[in-house]
Amino acid sequence: MPTILDIAEYAGVSSATVSRVINSSGYVGEETRKLVEEAIEKLNYSPNKNAQHLRKGSTKNFGIISTQFNDTAVARINSFITTAYSFGYTTTLFVTNGDKKREVEAFDLLKSKQIDGIFLIYRANDWSVLEKYAAFGPVVTLHNVDSEQIPSVFIDHYEGHKLALEYLWETGCRHIYNLYGTATGLNTKRRIQAYHDFCDAKGIPPHPSDPFIHTISAGKVDAFVSWFLKQQTRPDAVVTHSDSIAALVVSRLRRKGIAIPEEVSVIGFDNIDVSDVMDMSTIDYGIEEQGRNACRLLLQKLAKPTDALGPLSFKLIQRKTTR
């Protein structure tokens, strides 16, 4: 891959002259220009696209960074991409698989202006590593981060979880069981808190959070179903942290002959497509609006015209998996 320096050497001119020819800036004599153009052709040099973007100061491209790529991430990514496109921006998605180095490389593209802004979904590095990048361009996150530089489209799962619990209680459920998400996640901590506060208010003893914390796979749902079938007094309601997991719970319990909602109510979270086609009750909070808001916040930070932020609020969606 030839550089400007190679072109300069081949053409017998200075690299500054090559730069002037490539950028069509400043005066270059006709003879000299020809020499440079010949060298460019001969060495098959292609001026760096990114360098050209640099000069314009914008690539009209946003980056989405996520450690993983699951159904819930996909719903947000989709609405972000669509919104960005409607404002003339394309989107590049970096899936880091939790690789810290790879995440930093993606953030470096903001520094070198190869992307105009970043929507960080799930992160690999500590905030201390990432937050300094906000100086180079707008960063929006899904995480609950206390930062003036980095706005967040975070929602507090406490309220959503509480809404599900209260609704199940109202419909007569008295043995509510909770399936929690990622063991280390803040959302899980907030959900456990909501459950304990709920139990305090109702004067009932809480069940232990283990062993069905980190219920994020089909295997763990199968383990839960086996446990469920063995109980003398079975739960009469199951609260989950995502529609994907709720769909597995409904499907696996029904295969074992358990009637839903007659024997047990099941409620999801997110209100993504699968809850619609399965007629599952769930908690909606505007997951697509969350993706759109992330994009609007980036555009605001870039002082571009955009729509006002849409509201994110918890709403119970009653369908057919609860009484």
**What residue ranges bind a copy of itself (CB under 8 A)?**
1, 3-5, 15-16, 19, 46, 48-51, 54, 69, 71, 74, 77-78, 81, 85, 90-97, 99, 102, 105, 108, 111-113, 244, 247-248, 250-251, 254-255, 273-274, 276-279
Residue closer to a copy of itself (CB basis): 127 or 136: 136
- For residue 92, the minimal CB distance to a copy of itself (Å) is 6
What is the token pair recorded at 120? 């960080």
- For residue 95, the minimal CB distance to a copy of itself (Å) is 5
- For residue 74, the minimal CB distance to a copy of itself (Å) is 6
User: What is each CA distance from 70 to 88, 148, 253, 272, in whole angstroms?
Assistant: 26, 29, 23, 12
Residue closer to a copy of itself (CB basis): 60 or 315: 60
- For residue 50, the minimal CB distance to a copy of itself (Å) is 7
Quickly count: other Cβ atoms within 10 Å of residue 258's Cβ: 18
- For residue 19, the minimal CB distance to a copy of itself (Å) is 6
3-state secondary structure of 258: coil
Nearest to 244 by CA among 271, 207, 264: 271
The gap from C-alpha 216 to its chain's centroid, in whole angstroms, comes to 16
- DSSP per-residue codes, 210-252: -SSSS--SHHHHHHHHHHHHH-SS--SEEE-S-HHHHHHHHHH
49 burial (CB, 10 Å; 0-12 / 13-18 / 19+) is exposed
Residue closer to a copy of itself (CB basis): 139 or 250: 250
- Whether the bond into 211 is cis, omega within 30 of 0: yes
Residue closer to a copy of itself (CB basis): 89 or 198: 89
Q: How many residues does the chain have?
A: 323
- For residue 177, the minimal CB distance to a copy of itself (Å) is 20
Rounded CA-CA distance 152/134 in Å is 13
Residue closer to a copy of itself (CB basis): 194 or 267: 267
- Provide the 8-state DSSP code for 135: G
Residue closer to a copy of itself (CB basis): 10 or 158: 10
- For residue 222, the minimal CB distance to a copy of itself (Å) is 12
Rounded CA-CA distance 209/171 in Å is 23
- For residue 277, the minimal CB distance to a copy of itself (Å) is 4
- Are residues 217 and 70 in contact, defined by beta-carbon separation less than 8 angstroms? no
Residue closer to a copy of itself (CB basis): 77 or 297: 77
Residues whose CB falls within 8 Å of the CB of residue 163, separated by 6 or more in sequence, listed in order: 283, 314, 316
The gap from C-alpha 288 to its chain's centroid, in whole angstroms, comes to 11
